[in-house]
Structure 1
């Protein structure tokens, strides 16, 4: 009989002076299983994780009913030093768990506190750095790293503990697509080779579907679904209702089942709803070959024409960070972005994306080359004057929040513009309504969740009504609904003639909203063009550690059947199929 690493029975938890966070949760997790925990922000995912390693009740107090056992221990009755020898947790925001001044010390810190021998600490740290892709960064300070690199360091630090249970709270939210796949592959290998039990919260359902043993879905603290990935992701309508986006392959199958009689019966007969690109392609190929389906090609919508007026220009820009170990982050970059464009800048963690956009606001000064905003050299402009027309929403909102309430945070920039009080009030109300934070306007921002702090920072930028809006990783800490809310706001601004720049690793989001893609590698631009063209540049994407969205990969595989160009959404591909009249 397989041993259970985690047993939870009728767990209900209410935070002290706070809301009911979990209600009647019951589940068992066997040793060596990988459980993916899904749900919208505020559904209880992190609260559940906090129960497993003693953060609740050691850090966050509250009232608990029911029982929970982790590796035979009751987290409520076991000292955290003892729990830490069994369970290791990697938090969503990596900066909240860094304790030392360089990456190597960060990796040593955990096992050293457990009394692990020096040679074993070094061995574990070298192994963890290798599997997490941070070899060569050991001498760097954590604060000098990109967001994705910080997340890799936090994960590596957790792995050096070699726990029986590894708890990962959104461990890939800031990673590039290939980096995300690598982390999930490491997780899978740990479960198989070391019999490690892993609980991972994530919004990346395609990776969860590929590797998880079980999937748990939470909504408002309640357990909505629990089962194998195929069992859970076949409930597409239920998942959409609670803010969970199924893998694109599964969403396409459900869409086609509604459109084509008998399609659901065919995929059920073939083993259940397809979860991966390959499974979906194999199903579609079989049905096309036998005539059950036919391709009815529909041209995707063409790009909107934009003005050719340049608003942002870089010419031969090189930038080197003057750190203890100097890092050249941009190398001879030249770029022009015109009024009304929606541009996505994509690339591996540390490729120079954020460094590039900071030059547009004068936050960094080029080591070589020139930067122009609306035809003026940024070296001749003040940061304050640039901020009137260019807004940057940073990846980590905590770097730009400082007021005593959400409302005052939004008012600050508007008052610096010298606007009358009635217009300030109107803009604040409108921006808070856009991001759904009207009810927290009097709350101190740092009492909000990380995801809601992202929305506060976004609202502050939107309220400024800039001519150029720059979103740095808008999906970080956002659930499926939240990330689309921010991008839909940006899309509406583009329709009003504004220029939008989005830095993102979410290829589905990029494909849906952006028109032009700029691909960066090692501080250089290696590809630049319309999104459908760039997604065909396989060599450049591989160099940048990027992968096209699932739907785009499917459309590429189906070229021989009449899919003539890259498609980027489920709706686009669904519209290209019709019943074939075959058996």
Structure 2
């Protein structure tokens, strides 16, 4: 029985041109108890579709909608949003944007309480919801003090306490480390298996989908491009990669080997376990062989100097300790050098101290103990304004730093406050906008831009200040692979021009493919640093900071006994290692 039916749905936001559509003639249905993922590049219409299911679009946003949506027997055109919210629970990408309570219990009480239910029934719902998401005992915790994964599960529990029949989740793990992602997806699997809920999840993270999702709907430019079983959709590599969607790395590897060898190897496995099993069978059957010699990853790793002695340090950290007022130490005795001109990623679980560390580089924080030097100057003796001339910082959420009425004014704000004269200011702003591809949007209100464009705007605001060191905190959060690569190519070009680039990220796959050096933090301690391929190969140590090496690297490590190199960090490197039998 269909619980969701969408027929010929088209929608245009009030700010869109007459011929433009966020959704264009979309039709599909979802059976009760089914779990469906919505895939698509940034701007494909995934978020709009989720909001349309419970009436927020168009009832809150306005605009023009045609077609029909029936959810649990209600027509979204006729029903009001509160009635729809009882049937469709919507979880936004940023959980903090929907928090209203001071404690976890307050947060969960709010939704069910608005239905006028008896107090005991509400409390019973709260107990049940917290148990489902494994947060029993957190009732009195303040959401603001919790980790990213815990916040997402609180938001999920708040929706569950309202007992909806359908869950619509918009990028529920985009800001989380691997542990946080696993926590959320485990909760969803639990809901599917034990409660039989219908789940719709829009995401860019494909690796976690097998085992949870029954079906995939692929959107592009507001239209349905593919709709079918997950295993069938993931086989359509050419279509998916053409719009910036990347299936699990083992699928990409399998399809790439087929192209390299010019032979069919059968349906691509979806999980690491099945890929390892199937590849072993291919080797044992003599259908493929592993190339002799060192892998390209190992050569890359040995060719990168983890701390070039010939370069002066842009950042020098010695015995750095830091604690927030009244709190425990967040950073514990860190020693670190970042040479001028370096391109480095800082990785680690939520709460490991990554953002706290880099805030010492531009003077937003001062050491409790120890020292931080920027180009030889101790940050305790240099003002924040002077430091910001040399160290630019783009925040994790671009919306936290965007506040001016136009794109041009937003980018101009920083350099203007640094005292740029008009000629230099105009040149700096124009150059920055051109570099990020936003010159045509210079008069646009920033919040009319898409998430990817706002991310680029935040980056342009930092670039325009012409700082020698650029710190970018989670530059690819919520972006599809194609847009993420555009941002990283931009950072690579800035590095080529001589800027020192420091990137904080949870996207380990992109780190492996694009960033030459990596620093790993765990609970405020420097855990690892060195060439990226070497750092990511230390799987046992990385467990301490809940970082999982790229799937393709775990694939190689699992097959080390049959000669697969352990330090292969990218899919293309792995494909290049597989040969036809008899090639040697």
TM range (shorter): over 0.9
Is 2:316 the partner of 1:316? no
Give the whole-Å Cα distance in 2 for the aligned partners of 1:458 and 1:135: 40
Of the structure 1 ranges 532-541 and 87-96, higher mean CA displacement relative to structure 2 is found in 532-541
The correspondence of residues 101-116 of structure 1 with structure 2, limited to 5 A, is: 101-116=102-117
Give the whole-Å Cα distance in 2 for the aligned partners of 1:433 and 1:500: 19
Which residue does the alignment assign to 1:491?
492
Q: What SS does the aligned partner of 2:360 have?
A: helix
Gaps of 5+ in 1: none
The correspondence of residues 328-339 of structure 1 with structure 2, limited to 5 A, is: 328-339=329-340
Give the whole-Å Cα distance in 2 for the aligned partners of 1:104 and 1:315: 42
2:281 aligned residue (267, 281, 286): 286
Which residue does the alignment assign to 2:416?
415
The correspondence of residues 221-370 of structure 1 with structure 2, limited to 5 A, is: 221-262=222-263, 264=264, 266-267=265-266, 272-297=267-292, 298-300=295-297, 301-302=300-301, 303-305=303-305, 306=308, 307-322=310-325, 326=327, 328-370=329-371
Contact 1:210 1:275 (8 Å CA) reproduced:
no
Once the two structures are TM-superposed, the CA of residue 186 in structure 1 deviates from its matched residue by 1.3
Which residue does the alignment assign to 2:561?
560
Give the TM-score, by structure 2 length.
Answer: 0.92
Give the TM-score, by structure 1 length.
Answer: 0.92
Q: Deviations over 1:494-517 (max 9, x none)?
A: 233322211111110111122232
Is 2:478 the partner of 1:477? yes
Which residue does the alignment assign to 2:79?
78
Q: How many equivalent pairs are there?
A: 572
Cα distance change on mapping 1:426 and 1:280 into 2, 3 Å? farther
Contact 2:553 2:566 (8 Å CA) reproduced:
no
Contact 2:537 2:566 (8 Å CA) reproduced:
no
Give the whole-Å Cα distance in 2 for the aligned partners of 1:450 and 1:103: 28
Once the two structures are TM-superposed, the CA of residue 480 in structure 1 deviates from its matched residue by 1.1
Gaps of 5+ in 2: none
Contact 2:149 2:183 (8 Å CA) reproduced:
no
Once the two structures are TM-superposed, the CA of residue 122 in structure 1 deviates from its matched residue by 4.1
Which residue does the alignment assign to 1:201?
202
Q: What SS does the aligned partner of 2:502 have?
A: strand
Once the two structures are TM-superposed, the CA of residue 119 in structure 1 deviates from its matched residue by 4.4
Q: What SS does the aligned partner of 2:208 have?
A: helix
Q: Deviations over 1:239-279 (max 9, x none)?
A: 112221222111111211111122x2x32xxxx22222222
Contact 1:151 1:174 (8 Å CA) reproduced:
no
Give the whole-Å Cα distance in 1 for the aligned partners of 2:332 and 2:139: 23
Which residue does the alignment assign to 1:9?
7
Which residue does the alignment assign to 1:405?
406
Contact 2:149 2:179 (8 Å CA) reproduced:
no
Once the two structures are TM-superposed, the CA of residue 154 in structure 1 deviates from its matched residue by 2.6
Cα distance change on mapping 1:374 and 1:237 into 2, 3 Å? same
Contact 1:490 1:500 (8 Å CA) reproduced:
yes
Once the two structures are TM-superposed, the CA of residue 187 in structure 1 deviates from its matched residue by 0.9
Once the two structures are TM-superposed, the CA of residue 558 in structure 1 deviates from its matched residue by 2.2
Give the whole-Å Cα distance in 1 for the aligned partners of 2:401 and 2:65: 36
Once the two structures are TM-superposed, the CA of residue 140 in structure 1 deviates from its matched residue by 5.3
CA RMSD after TM alignment: 2.3
Contact 2:152 2:184 (8 Å CA) reproduced:
no
Once the two structures are TM-superposed, the CA of residue 43 in structure 1 deviates from its matched residue by 0.8
